[in-house]
Amino acid sequence: MRLSELLVHTLREAPAEAEIPSHQLMLRAGLIRQNAAGIYTWLPLGLRVLNKVTHIVREEMQHIGAIELLMPMVQPAELWRESGRWNQYGPELLRLQDRRGREFCLGPTHEEVITDLIRNTVRSHRQLPLTLFQIQTKFRDEQRPRFGIIRAREFLMKDAYSFHLDVESLDETYMRMYAAYSRVLERIGLDYRAVKADTGSIGGDVSHEFHVLAESGEDTIVYAPDGAYAANRELAEARPSRKRRPAAEASLARVATPHAYSIADVSKLLDIPPSHCVKTLLVKGSETPAVALILRGDDELNPVKAGHLPEVVSPLKLLGEEEVRKLGSLEFGSIGPVDLEFPVIADREAALLADFCCGANTPGEHLTGVNWGHDLPEPAVADIRLVKEGDRSPEGSGRLSFARGIEVGHIFKLGKRYSTKMNAVVQDSHGAERPLMMGCYGLGISRIVAAAIEQNHDTRGILWPPGIAPFSVIIIPLGAQHSADIRGAAERLHDELHQAGLEVVLDDRCLRAGVMLKDSELLGIPHRLVISARSREKNIVEYQARGAVSSEDLPREGLIDTLRKRLMRQ
RNA sequence: CGGGGUGUGGCGCAGCCUGGUAGCGCGCCUGCUUUGGGAGCAGGAGGCCGCGGGUUCGAGUCCCGCCACCCCGACCA
């Protein structure tokens, strides 16, 4: 392949809209072009990388016995009405009408379409288990696309769906898929973590996310150094700081706390550490106008965990200052759980406190020496705090650390959610109809490309992991403008490597040395060969690995074998 | 969706306050020189100054409306 054919137009400066390295480098190296917010063209060079990832993913899917199919991007509204998601999904679902006014949407995911397919084609448990996948363009009308390809509206995704008679079979496929995702990321050579995750709006009971570790990641993942525990911070929990509540010693007292509204203010004023104060957050209840969530003063609410409480509306809605006022004589800054007329749910840590301090539900006053079961009823207890770095790991030993990650994969045990709603049943061995057990498994192919760059770049450009580099070898002829000999030598070398099955690209643009050398580094091709008058004279080829500090001379004779060895070594 | 910002040639930007010939650097085309880390000189092409309306003799510049894009937050299988 010749560079002149690939529409590479490198940019010396990054376009102003790009902030993070992967976005800047993808634009500068000519991998993508933006068409609209979150919508991109993949240029030839970028597409080669995308196809590399696709290839690896396809192989690993086939390896675990998944069967490929291709479903439509445009999906009829009826299916979404059946599953209930036409109303649930919200504006992220791009809806459209055909010329007859029939409603459709662009597929953000394919549970409906595949469930519809399977209910019409699978009747017997003998056809199970079954795992199907596709690699297809998805559209989600994100409120705020950003970071280039990482959070695009249109993106390439591998989505797989599995169908089972029982949960044991689902568990088995789930674990196989987990292993396959791990292999994909290992083959590409990315530093990643699989973490327990919230199931979000897709539902189901168990789910894991696969995160590529990167500073610019949008998610915080929590892990224990012994590897026994890893979770998204949205769902992460910690081992409680103590086993049981200390005995009460103090007695209830009401103190004036003028102008002290925050935990920090109160703590300072009364000389009580924040860990012995509680904060009371009022949220909209599912049955009651409000529910009080109690946290230790030094803890923060995890809205995702709290949103799962049956007593509160989901997603969680914190009451604003005005809404709180309407509830009675309550004012922000002095709310507490004592004599509150709403359900009180305490975080585990807050429930372990004795002699604590809280708002008195009278503006400008707080209570000290408060004790559960004495000054107020024992609360309902739940784990609703956001874990902190250094908390104790809930499994195994050690303390929790944080890292930033880019979510590239997410697998779910869906259970019967879709099969029940859409009446997808099979006959079991007794002839009885049973709803299908389902799993679904997403892997963001285009996002992996960006994540790979995010994790593998330097000041000069991209350093492609060998498994997904657009080319393995780039040949740069220096002085080719004036030398038919150099030109010819470069061409012959290119053809020879190509014949030998190496993925090689020749920079035939005949530009100045500096430009071609810089570009080769920007493009991130792992191996570079320079042909020049000097190399011709000495009958060598100058070799430099991307990222290496210096070059070395390789004898022209046997070059292919030498190169092959270096390619294998990676 | 709330807050902030930006729209001027392919990319990066100035010009707008104070209205009067649309400019700079990079890139692109031609020629000459140069040639191992983003060359020099000369010549050249390329612009509904985001869109619509208004004010004015005259609008890139002032006013009104809209749109697009970016950033922070909320949101997000």
Say which residues have a Cβ less than 8 Å from residue A256's Cβ, sequence separation at least 6. A364, A365
pLDDT in tens, A387-445: 999 999 998 889 999 999 999 999 999 999 999 999 999 999 999 999 999 999 999 99
- pLDDT for A412: 92
Nearest to A169 by CA among A369, A436, A402: A436
Question: How long is the CA A13 to C1' B15 vector, in angstroms?
Answer: 22
A249 token code pair: 């010693």
- pLDDT for A62: 98
Q: Which nucleotide is nearest to A550 (CA to C1')?
A: B37
Burial class (CB in 10 A: 0-12, 13-18, 19+), A252: middle
Is A293 in contact with A283 (CB distance < 8 Å)?
Answer: yes
Is A135 in contact with A158 (CB distance < 8 Å)?
Answer: yes
What DSSP state is assigned to residue A399? B
- Tokens 């019967």 correspond to A416
Q: Which nucleotide is nearest to A204 (CA to C1')?
A: B77
Residue A76 to residue A60: CA distance in whole angstroms? 31
Question: How long is the CA A318 to C1' B43 vector, in angstroms?
Answer: 68
Q: Note the residue count of chain A.
A: 570
pLDDT in tens, chain A (570 residues): 999 999 888 998 888 888 899 999 999 999 999 988 899 999 999 999 999 999 999 999 999 999 999 999 999 999 999 999 998 888 889 999 998 999 999 999 999 999 999 999 999 999 999 999 999 999 999 888 888 999 999 999 999 999 999 999 999 999 999 999 999 999 999 999 999 987 765 656 789 999 999 988 888 999 998 888 999 998 899 999 888 999 999 999 999 998 888 888 899 999 999 999 999 999 888 888 889 999 999 998 998 888 888 898 877 888 877 788 877 778 888 899 999 889 999 999 999 999 999 999 998 899 999 999 999 999 999 999 999 999 999 988 899 999 999 999 999 999 999 999 999 999 999 999 999 999 999 999 999 999 999 999 999 999 999 999 999 999 999 998 889 999 999 999 999 999 999 999 999 998 999 999 999 999 999 999 999 999 999 999 999 999 999 999 999 999 999 999 999 876
Q: Given CA atoms A307, A313, A317, A319 in this order, what sign does their dihedral have?
A: negative
Residue A189 to residue A191: CA distance in whole angstroms? 7
Residue A21 to residue A458: CA distance in whole angstroms? 9
Q: Which nucleotide is nearest to A34 (CA to C1')?
A: B69
Strand B nucleotides within 7 Å of a protein CB: 1-2, 11-13, 25-27, 34-39, 68-77
Residue A53 to residue A61: CA distance in whole angstroms? 12
Strand A401-415 to A219-223 pairing: antiparallel
Question: How long is the CA A530 to C1' B13 vector, in angstroms?
Answer: 36
Nearest to A57 by CA among A405, A444, A407: A444
